[in-house]
Structure 1
Amino acid sequence: MAAKPSIPKGTRDFSPVEMAKRNYIFNTIRDVYHLYGFQQIETPSMEMLSTLMGKYGDEGDKLLFKIQNSGDYFSGITDEELLSRNAAKLASKFCEKGLRYDLTVPFARYVVMHRDEITFPFKRYQIQPVWRADRPQKGRYREFYQCDADVVGSDSLLNEVELMQIVDTVFSRFNIRVCIKINNRKILSGIAEIIGESDKIVDITVAIDKLDKIGLDNVNAELKEKGISDEAIAKLQPIILLSGTNAEKLATLKNVLSASEVGLKGVEESEFILNTLETMGLKNEIELDLTLARGLNYYTGAIFEVKALDVQIGSITGGGRYDNLTGVFGMAGVSGVGISFGADRIFDVLNQLELYPKEAVNGTELLFINFGEKEAAYSMGILAKVRAAGIRAEIFPDAVKMKKQMSYANAKNIPFVAIVGENEMNEGKVMLKNMETGEQNLVSADELIAIVKK
C-alpha cells in the first residue's frame, strides 16, 4: 500500500473556506493600501544567499532555508572538506540561493537595483509568503504571509501619521477593536542617557517591556541583574510608571528629558504624530507607551505596535522608522518607515470573534439542479444571464438523484437553488428555493437575479 502523503512541518493546506477568509483579509489590506497611494511590488521567493546572509544576526542566519545548487554541486569541494562534516561551510559551497526570510531585505535589494526607475518617495506594499527554519509550534509556522507597506526616501513625519491612519482604517473595516501603541527610539535613548546608562539601552528596554507580564519589582530585579546601578533604577521609576493622557505623558517626558537633546527630539516627533492624529478622528485608541521597545537593532525613530482589545493574542501589527534601509547594499542615506500586518494572527482574531462577513466567505450563491439534457440546456441559458449580472452560480454537472444535488448545495452553504423541470420550461420560468427558509417561488430570470442579489 502506498505511503500516506504528508506536508513539511510548519506548513499548512488551506481549504476553500479558509482561502475565502484569507483573501478577505488580504483584499481589505490591499484596498486600504491603494487608498493611500501605495503601489504593489513582488520579489522572488528565493534570493541569493549573499543578499540574505548577515542581515538578521547569527540566529537569523541559522533560520534561513538554503536551496541546494542544481547539477554537480560536489565540484570544487575537496575530500577533506567533505570529511570535515562542517555543515555551515559545506552549505556555503552547496547552496547559492535561499528562501526569503522576510520582505524587508528583498525590498532593500529591490530599491538599490531599481533606483534609477523608482520615483522617490517610494510608497510600496508587498503581500507574499516568507520562510523560516524555526521550530514549529502553535501560532508559529515555517511558511507564513507578511503584508508590508513602506515609504522610503522621505523623512517627513506625515508618513508615520498616514501609516497609523492605515492601521486604524484596516481594523475598523475588520470591526476589530485595537489599541495602537506608539513610542520612539530617541525617547528610549534619552532615558538611558539621563540615568547614565547609555550603553545599556537594550537591557533597560528589554526589562521595561516585561512590565505587564512580570510586574515592577521583577523588572527592577532584572535591571539590577544586568548591572544597572540602584541610583539609575531609582531615576527610572517615574518613567516606567508614567501614566495619564498622551499629553500628560509628553509633558512629564519634556521635564524628565530636559537635559537630553536626543530624548527631547523623540518627544517632539511623538507629539507631532499624536497631535496630528488627534485632528484626524481615529476610530481606535492610540497610546504613547514607553514599554514598547520592538526592533531596537534597526528602528531609529517612531516605533508602532497594535494589540487587539477583545482577544488574548500577541501583537497583530508592528512597524517603525529606520534610517538606513539600503546601506547594507551600498546605497547610504535612504530613510524609511513601514508597517507589517500579521495576517495569520488577524485570521485567528477574526475567527475567534466570528467577524467574517457572510458574503466574504460564501462561495456559490446559486445552484441549478440538473434533471437531464433538455433541462440542463435550458438552465445554461439562464445561468449565462445570472453570471453576467455578477452572481456566483453553477449547475450540478451530472443528472443524478435530486437528494444528492441538494446535499451538495447544503455542504457548500449555497443559499439558493434553481429547479427547472417540464412545467418551468413551458412557462419560461424557474422554481427558486431559498435554502435557509425553505420558501419556493416560480420566477422569471430577471426576478431570480433581483432576489439573489438582494
Structure 2
Amino acid sequence: MAQKPSIPKGTRDFSPAEIEKRNFIIQTIQKHFKNFGFQPIETPAFENSETLMGKYGDEGDRLIFKILNSGDFISKVDDDTYNSKNSKELTRKISDKALRYDLTVPFARYVVMHQNEIDFPFKRYQIQPVWRADRPQKGRFREFYQCDADVVGANSLLQEIEFIQLYDAVFTDLSLKKATIKLNNRKILSGIAEVIGEKQRLVDFTVALDKLDKIGKEGVINEMLNKGISPKAIEKAQPLFSLSGTNSEQLEQLRIFLKDSKEGSKGVEDLAFILDALDELGLNSAQLTLDVTLARGLNYYTGTIFEVAPPAEISMGSIGGGGRYDDLTGIFGLKDMSGIGISFGLDRIYLVMEELGLFPDNIGQALDILFLNFGAREAMASLKLIGKLRKEGVKADLYPDSSKMQKQMKYANKRNVPFVVIIGDRELADNSFVVKNMSKGDQKTYDSSDINEFLQDLKLFLN
C-alpha cells in the first residue's frame, strides 16, 4: 500500500478560497505601492551562497536553506574535510547556492548589478516567497511571502515618514485599524551600548534586547550575561526596560540618558523629527509608538527601524517591519548608497484578518452564475450565452456533464454560486433562459436575444 503523502513542516497547501483571500491582501498592498510611486522587480528564488551568507548575523545565517551542488558533490570533498565532520567547512564544499532568506539583500545585489540602468532614487516593490529554516509555530513558516518596498539613493528622513504613511494606508484599507507601528533607531541602540561600556558587543546586546517581548526582562538579562555583557553594564541599562509616558516624554528621557553619546543623540533627533512631522500630518488609523527595546536582529540596519504589531486582542508576532540601511550595497562594492525599506508579512496579516473576520463576505465567490446541463443542444445554447456574459465581465460556467439536476444543484450550493441558469426544451423553443436566485429560491425568465435586463439585475445584486 502506498504511503500517505505529506508536505514539509512549515509549508502549506492553499485552497481556492485561501488563494482568493491572499490575493485580496496582495492586491491591496500592491495598489498602495503603486500609489506611492514604487516600481516592481523580481529576483531568483535562490542566490549564490556568498550573496546571502554573512548579511544577517550568526542567527540569520543558521536559518538559510542551502542547496546541494549538482552531480556527485561528495567525491569533490577532500578526506580531511570529510572526516573532520565540521559542518561549516563541509557545506562550503558541497553547496554554493541557497534559497533567499529575505528580499532586501537580493535587492541590494540587484541594484549593484543594474546600477547603470537605474534612475536614482530608485523606489521598488517586490512580492515573492522567501525561505527560512526556522522552527514552525503559529504565524511562523519556513516558506512564506514578503511584500517589500524600498528606496535607494535617498538620505532624507522624509522617506521614513512616507513609509509610515504607507503602512497606515495599507492597514486602514484592510480594516486593520488598530495596528501599532513601533519605532526606534539603531543609532540609539549603538549609543546605549556606548554609554553602558559595551560598544564592542553591540550585536549581542541588540539581539538579546530584541527578545524582550518574547522571553521577558529576566530572560534578556540572562542572555546578555551569557554573551559576556557585564552585570555593571546591564545595571546601567535598567532604566531602558521601563521607559514610560508619551513618545515625546520617552524621547526626553533618552536625550538625558544619551547626552554623552554623539551617535545616540543623533538617533534621538532623527526620531524627534519623524514624530513631530507625523503629529502635524496625522495618520488615518495606525498607532505610532516609540519602543527603545526594538532592535530587529538584522545587522544591516543603521538608522530608523520599524515593526508593526497586530491589534492588541490578537496574540501573534509582528505583521511588518523594516528600517534604514545606509550602506547595504557596499557589501557588493557600491559605496555610499543609502537605502530604506519595509516589509508586509502576508501570512500573518492573513491570519489576523481571518481571526478578526475582516475579509469581505463574497471574497471566495469564484462564480456568479452556473448553467445547468440538460444535454447537447441545451449545452450549446448555454455556451453561446456564457460567451456573451463573459465578455461583460460576468464569471459564468457550464456544468460539464448532463447529470441529474439534484447533483448539479448540490454542486452549485457547495461552490456558493448565487445564480443558476436553466435552459431546457421550453427555453430553447422560446429563446429564453431561467435564472434561479439560490439564496431566495425565486426565479425569473429573460430573453436570450437581449441580455441587458439580466445584466442590470445582476449588477444590482452583486453590488
**How does the TM-score come out when normalised to structure 2?**
0.89
Shift of 1:3: 3.1
* Residues 296/76 of structure 1: CA separation in 2 closer, same or farther (3 Å cut): closer
1:54-453 matches, within 5 Å, as 54-73=54-73, 76-78=76-78, 86-176=86-176, 177-199=178-200, 201-202=202-203, 205=206, 209=210, 227-228=229-230, 233=235, 236-237=238-239, 239-283=240-284, 284-295=286-297, 297-309=299-311, 310-444=313-447, 445-453=451-459
Partner of 1:30: 30
Deviation larger for 67-76 or 123-132: 67-76
Partner of 1:4: 4
| Structure 1: segments with no counterpart, 5+ residues | none
1:339-383 per-position Cα deviation (integer Å, ceiling 9, x unaligned): 111111111111111111134322111111111122212211221
Q: In 2, are the aligned partners of 1:320 and 1:337 still within 8 Å (CA)?
A: yes
SS in 2 for 1:243: coil
Q: In 2, are the aligned partners of 1:190 and 1:264 still within 8 Å (CA)?
A: yes
Shift of 1:291: 2.1
Q: In 1, are the aligned partners of 2:139 and 2:316 still within 8 Å (CA)?
A: no
Distance 1:44 1:373 in 2: 48
Distance 1:207 1:233 in 2: 15
Q: In 2, are the aligned partners of 1:208 and 1:240 still within 8 Å (CA)?
A: no
* Residues 224/106 of structure 1: CA separation in 2 closer, same or farther (3 Å cut): closer
Deviation larger for 119-128 or 222-231: 222-231
* Residues 278/391 of structure 1: CA separation in 2 closer, same or farther (3 Å cut): farther
Q: In 1, are the aligned partners of 2:207 and 2:297 still within 8 Å (CA)?
A: no
- Which residue identity lines up with residue 303 of structure 2 in the other structure? G
Distance 2:436 2:90 in 1: 66
Distance 2:203 2:87 in 1: 32
Distance 2:209 2:10 in 1: 32
The root-mean-square deviation of aligned C-alpha atoms, in Å, is 2.7
What percent identity do the matched residue pairs reach? 55
Shift of 1:263: 2.3
- Which residue identity lines up with residue 410 of structure 2 in the other structure? S
Shift of 1:87: 4.6
Shift of 1:156: 0.9
Distance 1:222 1:93 in 2: 33
1:162-189 per-position Cα deviation (integer Å, ceiling 9, x unaligned): 1111111111111112011111112233
Query: Do structure 1's residue 16 and structure 2's residue 38 form an aligned pair?
Result: no
* Residues 229/72 of structure 1: CA separation in 2 closer, same or farther (3 Å cut): closer
Shift of 1:416: 1.3
SS in 2 for 1:381: helix
1:71-123 per-position Cα deviation (integer Å, ceiling 9, x unaligned): 45456445665555555444433333222222122111111111111111111
Shift of 1:6: 2.7
SS in 2 for 1:361: coil
Q: In 2, are the aligned partners of 1:189 and 1:201 still within 8 Å (CA)?
A: yes
1:391-410 per-position Cα deviation (integer Å, ceiling 9, x unaligned): 11111111111111111111
Q: In 1, are the aligned partners of 2:179 and 2:310 still within 8 Å (CA)?
A: yes
Distance 2:8 2:298 in 1: 33
Q: In 1, are the aligned partners of 2:198 and 2:229 still within 8 Å (CA)?
A: no
SS in 1 for 2:161: helix
- Which residue identity lines up with residue 308 of structure 1 in the other structure? P
- Which residue identity lines up with residue 127 of structure 1 in the other structure? I
Distance 2:337 2:156 in 1: 13
1:203-244 per-position Cα deviation (integer Å, ceiling 9, x unaligned): 65556556556766776787778654558736742x443322
- Which residue identity lines up with residue 259 of structure 2 in the other structure? S
Deviation larger for 188-197 or 363-372: 188-197
Deviation larger for 10-19 or 278-287: 278-287
1:40-87 per-position Cα deviation (integer Å, ceiling 9, x unaligned): 111111212222233334444443333333345456445665555555
Q: In 1, are the aligned partners of 2:326 and 2:336 still within 8 Å (CA)?
A: yes
SS in 2 for 1:423: helix
- Which residue identity lines up with residue 416 of structure 1 in the other structure? F
Aligned length: 453
- Which residue identity lines up with residue 287 of structure 2 in the other structure? E
| Structure 2: segments with no counterpart, 5+ residues | none
Q: In 1, are the aligned partners of 2:186 and 2:267 still within 8 Å (CA)?
A: yes
Shift of 1:258: 3.4
Shift of 1:38: 0.8
Q: In 2, are the aligned partners of 1:134 and 1:142 still within 8 Å (CA)?
A: yes
1:108-157 per-position Cα deviation (integer Å, ceiling 9, x unaligned): 11111111111111111111111223343443322211111111111111
**How does the TM-score come out when normalised to structure 1?**
0.90
SS in 2 for 1:279: helix
